[in-house]
Amino acid sequence: MYNRIGEEILEKAAQVTRTNNYSPENLKKMLSEEKFDAIVLRAPAQMTREIIAVADSVKAISGAGTGLDNIDVEAATEKGIAVLNCPAVNAVSVAEHALTLMLTVSKKILRCDQVVRSDQFGARDELRPIELSNKVLGLVGIGAIGSKLAKMVQGGLNMSVVAFDPYVDPAVADSLDIKLYSDLETMLPLCDVLSLHVPLIPGTKNIIGEKEIGLLKPTAIIINTARGGILDEDALTQALVEKRIAGAGLDVFYAEPNIDCSSKLFKLENTVFSPHLGGITEESTYRMAEAVATNILAYLEGDYPETICNADGLDLG
């Protein structure tokens, strides 16, 4: 777990075994040899169908955040295992990180740092950062994170916010002063910054691809703090190389943690990267670990937390 508080809560009511070896072979071995009631996992650990197949004693699996792309929920449901997540606890952290990436790219902070360190102070005459004030932020997804980011930029930068989210109640968008669009094709040309805040599921894989990137302004910036698979990295790279968009800030990647740092994307100066830590702050990890531990114990004791994601497929009595 990301914070010791979670293990302290669990240790008061259960025996806790920890491993830092996330290989499928090790996880299958552990689950075959010991009888665990619950599993708590953090990235990059994966609970695949193959691993879940040997989890005969397991009653619950919990991720450490909102996303469940590292858990085969269907396989767990078939085996009668509850899958829990921990939504919203890191929403502020991720929203702040998305805003940080927006500002870092638009103000060309990394390039500014490089020229100062290399005694090229005169480069200030060539660098031209842009203002975000009075620009348009486009959101794909306005759940806990997207809505918090909207409030930050509306209040602090006077940005207008538009969004695409087919699952949200339009009344929610209205209450947030967000103009909701029913299709990406209409929304994308309006965006000065596009920020992604949806889970990785079959319907969102490569939701922003070559066609969608082609609809953006040449001055637009793309920010992704959600999941790597929702943005086509090859299409993004080509658009950045050809200067069809202005820049990108990524906290997540398609092949993480084994990203290919020799690829063209990581050679570009109009990009900023971080190692999938947008949701990992001192404050959020405490909230996350506390919530995960509390929810797991509640389920094992016969209560049913609202964070059970596959409740409809389980016989909860």
Q: What is the 3-state secondary structure (H, E, C) of the chain?
A: CCCHHHHHHHHCCCCCCCCCCCCHHHHHHHHHHCCCCEEECCCCCCECHHHHCCCCCCCEEECCCCCCCCECHHHHHHCCCEEECCCCCCHHHHHHHHHHHHHHHHCCHHHHHHHHHCCCHHHHHCCCCCCCCCCEEEEECCCHHHHHHHHHHHHHHCCEEEEECCCCCHHHHHHCCCEEECCHHHHHHHCCEEEECCCCCCCCCCCECHHHHHCCCCCCEEEECCCHHHECHHHHHHHHHCCCCCEEEECCCCCCCCCCCCCHHHHCCCEEECCCCCCCCHHHHHHHHHHHHHHHHHHHCCCCCCCECCHHHCCCC
CATH number at residue 136: 3.40.50.720
Co-location of 125 and 216 in the same domain: yes
Co-location of 113 and 250 in the same domain: yes
Co-location of 124 and 23 in the same domain: no
Euclidean distance between CA atoms 294 and 172, whole angstroms: 29
* Residues 82-98 pLDDT 10s: 999 988 899 999 999 99
Distance from the Cα of residue 269 to its chain's centroid: 23
Co-location of 293 and 247 in the same domain: no
Co-location of 226 and 99 in the same domain: yes
**Residue 20 structural domain:** 4-89+281-313
- Mean pLDDT in residue range 126-147: 96
Position 270 pLDDT exceeds 80: yes
Whole-number percent of the chain with pLDDT over 90: 88
Co-location of 257 and 288 in the same domain: no
Co-location of 66 and 84 in the same domain: yes
Neighbours of 181 (CB within 10 A): 18
pLDDT band at 257 (very low <50, low <70, confident <90, very high): confident
* Residues 149-204 pLDDT 10s: 999 999 999 999 999 999 999 999 999 999 999 999 999 999 999 999 999 989 99
Catalytic-role residue among 97, 197, 276, 287: 276
Euclidean distance between CA atoms 251 and 270, whole angstroms: 15
pLDDT of res. 1: 61
- Mean pLDDT in residue range 279-296: 93
Q: What integer best gives the mean pLDDT of the chain? A: 94
Co-location of 84 and 95 in the same domain: no
Co-location of 105 and 245 in the same domain: yes
215 contacts 185 by C-beta, under 8 angstroms:
yes
State which of 273, 289, 304 marks the end of a domain.
Answer: 273
Position 299 pLDDT exceeds 70: yes
Q: How many Å from the N-terminal Cα to the C-terminal Cα in the chain?
A: 30
pLDDT of res. 217: 97
Co-location of 198 and 114 in the same domain: yes
pLDDT band at 317 (very low <50, low <70, confident <90, very high): low
- Closest by alpha carbon to 249, among 60, 126, 102, 114? 102
* Residues 23-43 pLDDT 10s: 999 999 999 999 999 999 987
273 contacts 296 by C-beta, under 8 angstroms:
no
Alpha-carbon separation of residue 280 from 63, 73, 124 (angstroms):
14, 24, 34
Co-location of 216 and 300 in the same domain: no
Co-location of 209 and 187 in the same domain: yes
Number of domains composing the chain: 2
Question: What is the pTM (predicted TM-score) of this model?
Answer: 0.89
Position 2 pLDDT exceeds 80: no
Indicate if 227 belongs to the active site.
yes
pLDDT band at 69 (very low <50, low <70, confident <90, very high): confident
Catalytic-role residue among 197, 227, 287, 290: 227
